[in-house]
């Protein structure tokens, strides 16, 4: 089922996600719904907070993006990124390996707003999958950027928090408008 993606101004986007301690049928269903929602919106990543569920789970799929490559290494050997997509990460953690690089970023909770954000080029990731197994891999490029962006969401951190002061100023009016619209919609719904 395609879920509603909540927008900037919704309080759940600022909540830290609870650690997932058991892969229940509800968690499996949430993962399936998040994948469907991400694909319907043509996103490369989606965190549970963005569907108003503050738990530590994010989904990723970089197959649709050909002009911004991703790399993956499993056990020190290059692996086929596409064969590992879509990727569901539960309780993900990462360690930066490469230097930070600046690159364009957007967010499904901030429609039409894009800015350059600095992220590590390469990261080592540890997470659980839906089978409850521990995944360990190194990745780079777009996938590394997406995983860092979603990892932030799981902690209530948004890409506007990492924008340069100049980018944020440039987008301030759009951000204020989006937040006001979200708050007004929430208020209307509460009536
Ligand atoms: Zn986002």
Number of structural domains the chain divides into: 1
b/e map of 143-165 (b: 16 or more CB within 10 Å)? Answer: bbbbbbbbbbbbebebbbebbee
The residue written with tokens 């929602």 in the block is 37
What pLDDT, on the 0 to 100 scale, is given for residue 44?
97
pTM equals: 0.96
Q: How far is the CA of 20 from the centre of ligand 1 (A)?
A: 20
Q: How far is the CA of 74 from the centre of ligand 1 (A)?
A: 26
Give ion ligand 1 contacts, CB < 5 A: 107
What pLDDT, on the 0 to 100 scale, is given for residue 60?
98
Do 125 and 94 touch, CB atoms closer than 8 A?
yes
| pLDDT tens by residue, 103-142 | 999 999 999 999 999 999 999 999 999 999 999 999 999 9
What pLDDT, on the 0 to 100 scale, is given for residue 99?
86
In a domain, 123, yes or no: yes
Q: What span, in angstroms and rounded, lies between the C-alpha atoms of 148 and 51?
A: 18
CATH of the domain at 124: 3.90.45.10
Q: How far is the CA of 118 from the centre of ligand 1 (A)?
A: 15
* DSSP-assigned letter for residue 154: T
Q: What is the mean pLDDT of the chain?
A: 96
Q: How far is the CA of 36 from the centre of ligand 1 (A)?
A: 16
Please pick, among 150, 170, 174, 181, the residue that the annotation labels catalytic: 150
- Summarize the confidence of residues 87-95 as an average pLDDT: 98
In the structure, what pLDDT confidence band is assigned to residue 75 with cuts at 50, 70 and 90? confident
- For residue 84, count other CB atoms closer than 10 A to its CB: 19
In a domain, 157, yes or no: yes
* DSSP-assigned letter for residue 75: T
Residue-number span of the structural domain to which 134 is assigned: 11-190
């Amino acid at each position: 089922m395609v879920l509603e993606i909540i927008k900037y101004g919704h309080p759940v986007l600022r909540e830290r996600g609870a650690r997932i301690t058991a892969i229940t049928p509800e968690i499996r269903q949430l993962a399936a719904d998040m994948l469907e929602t991400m694909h319907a919106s043509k996103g490369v990543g989606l965190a549970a907070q963005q569907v108003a569920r503050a738990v530590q789970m994010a989904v990723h799929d970089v197959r649709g993006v050909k002009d911004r490559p991703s790399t993956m290494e499993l056990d020190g050997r290059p692996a086929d990124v596409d064969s590992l997509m879509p990727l569901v990460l539960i309780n993900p953690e990462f360690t930066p390996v490469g230097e930070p690089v600046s690159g364009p970023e957007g967010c499904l909770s901030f429609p039409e707003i894009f800015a350059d954000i600095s992220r590590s080029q390469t990261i080592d990731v540890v997470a659980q999958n839906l089978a409850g197994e521990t995944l360990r891999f190194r990745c780079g490029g777009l996938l590394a950027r997406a995983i860092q962006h979603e990892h932030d969401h799981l902690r209530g951190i948004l890409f506007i928090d990492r924008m340069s002061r100049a980018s944020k100023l440039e987008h301030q009016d759009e951000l204020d408008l989006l937040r006001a619209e979200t708050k007004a919609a929430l208020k209307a719904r509460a009536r």
